[in-house]
């Protein structure tokens, strides 16, 4: 049940019900995909995110998509990689699962993810990609609403890692 797609693109352009933002725990914007999403929406997103007073790593919050093609933006701070001896793997899975739970709650049938934590947060791609895809697969097996999840890879290296893991 459900379908997982892996594409190379810019997630701000994704025509889906919800895109996911690899945010930080302040939810007040940052670099990478977070910066790209905030630049694309303009200040409305910053104002909407302020009311959350941040978000713990692995949890998720939802806002409108403002002027983006996506109806919603789901914000999740992924874990910072500290060598893999801690709870990084669990926290990364939590980010995907909690984002999908919110998508389900908001009746989203199609969801797009960036490669959470593999940019500035330095999570190794070859470890992150199987965690992401396994968590999404497990979720789709019991999901009632979400039926299509797209991994939107920004660069060819990321695309290759997710293609291989798929
Ligand atoms: P994190 O802090 O969670 O590591 P980053 O934004 O630094 O988040 O990186 C996560 C991934 O998002 C990286 O693969 C990066 O290349 C990618 N990325 C950056 N901009 C975009 C974009 N506009 N669309 C999709 N992915 C993007």
How many angstroms separate the alpha carbon of residue 154 from the centre of ligand 1?
7
Instruction: Show Cβ contacts of residue 129 under 8 Å, excluding neighbours closer than 6 positions.
Output: 115, 161, 162, 164, 165
Contact 150, 16 (CB under 8 A): yes
Cβ of 76 closer than 6 Å to ligand 1, yes or no, is no
* 26 DSSP 8-state letter: T
**Residue of the CA atom closest to atom 6 of ligand 1:** 32
**Structure ipTM:** 0.99
How many angstroms separate the alpha carbon of residue 118 from the centre of ligand 1?
7
Tell me the mean pLDDT in the region 8-25. 98
74-129, pLDDT tens digit by residue?
999 999 999 999 999 999 999 999 999 999 999 999 999 999 999 999 999 999 99
Cβ of 120 closer than 6 Å to ligand 1, yes or no, is yes
* pLDDT band at 1; cut points 50, 70, 90: confident
How many CA atoms lie less than 13 Å away from 135 in the CB half-sphere? 23
Residue 67 burial by Cβ neighbours in a 10 Å radius (0-12, 13-18, 19+): exposed
**Residue of the CA atom closest to atom 15 of ligand 1:** 119
**Which of 30, 39, 40, 154 is the pocket-test mutation for ligand 1 (most atoms within 8 Å of CB)?**
154
48-70, pLDDT tens digit by residue?
999 999 999 999 999 999 999 99
* pLDDT band at 38; cut points 50, 70, 90: very high
How many CA atoms lie less than 13 Å away from 49 in the CB half-sphere? 29
How many angstroms separate the alpha carbon of residue 86 from the centre of ligand 1?
23
- Asked if the model's pLDDT at residue 157 lies above 90, the reply is yes
* pLDDT band at 20; cut points 50, 70, 90: very high
113: closest CA among 11, 1, 37? 11
């Amino acid at each position: 049940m459900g379908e997982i797609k892996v594409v190379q693109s810019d997630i701000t352009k994704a025509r889906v019900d919800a895109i996911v933002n690899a945010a930080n725990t302040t939810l007040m914007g940052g670099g990478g995909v977070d910066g790209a999403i905030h630049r694309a929406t303009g200040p409305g997103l910053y104002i909407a995110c302020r009311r959350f007073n941040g978000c713990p790593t692995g949890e998720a919050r939802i806002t409108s998509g403002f002027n983006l093609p996506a109806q919603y933006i789901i914000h999740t701070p992924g874990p910072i990689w500290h060598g893999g001896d801690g709870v990084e793997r669990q926290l990364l899975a939590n980010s995907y699962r909690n984002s999908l739970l919110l998508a389900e709650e908001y009746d989203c049938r199609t969801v797009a993810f960036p490669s959470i934590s593999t940019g500035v947060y330095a999570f190794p791609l070859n470890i992150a990609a199987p965690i992401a895809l396994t968590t999404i697969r497990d979720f789709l097996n019991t999901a009632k609403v979400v039926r299509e999840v797209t991994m939107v890879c920004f660069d060819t290296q990321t695309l290759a890692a997710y293609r291989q893991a798929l």
